[in-house]
Amino acid sequence: MIVTCPVCSTRYLVDPRALGATGRLVRCASCAHTWRQAPPEDAPRRVDLTTPEPEAEPPPLRATGRTQLPALAPPPRTIWSSLGWVLYAALIILLIGGGLWIARERIVGYWPAASRFYAMLGLAPASAQSDLELSDVATSRDTENGLPTLVIQGKVVNVSKLARAVPKLKVILQDGNKKELQSWSFTVSDERLPPGASVPFRTSVAQPSEAATGVVVTFDAGG
């Protein structure tokens, strides 16, 4: 059996028969600590019919005889064992990094703020705007508060499989040469748009430029 010194943790290989049925005092050869070592639980018990004599000073456990053995030294570490841990750690980092890269669209879909960290690493996912489409965009003329008003309305549709935040929309009025005459941005919704869902939008401008012949509605890059 292996006996371990409770003070310095030096270990010895001891024949259980040398401990007797009730144990005996032993002394560590390394630090001289003395303690009573009990026999193993599965050791056969012996009943002594005579009165035991007081135990003398316990002999130290030494690496002599058949009942003691020097402390078991740990196996020496080699460069290959250290290299193995390095390779194992590198593999774990590679697997985690690969998972974060493959699932970056889904991660950003659930946590939009993560897009900034991906951008810092040069792994920015595709813009959420690519998963949103404008549908049923139409313009009409009206009068509001006695002023001629141009009304633009339509829907934003989420064509992805993840909930998306709806960015601001930008309206640009152009002349016949597609020169920008007037533009403005507006918020469609502050709530995330579920997959396959749509949200209507409506905006208007009073007294639009008379030279305006075209209307462009797009996602605001800064929104």
In the chain, which residues have pLDDT < 70? 42-82, 97-130, 222-223
Prediction pTM value: 0.45
By residue range, what is the domain housing residue 214?
A: 128-219
Shared-domain flag, residues 132 and 204: yes
Asked whether residue 70 is domain-assigned, the answer is no
- Same domain? For 149 and 201 the reply is yes
Q: What pLDDT is recorded for position 116?
A: 64
- pLDDT value of residue 59: 57
* Same domain membership, residue 204 and residue 184: yes
Residues 116, 135, single domain; the answer is: no
Q: Are residues 43 and 83 in the same domain?
A: no
| 197 and 143 housed in the same domain | yes
How many domains in the chain?
A: 3
Which tokens sit at 221? 């890059």
**Shared domain check, 139 and 114:** no
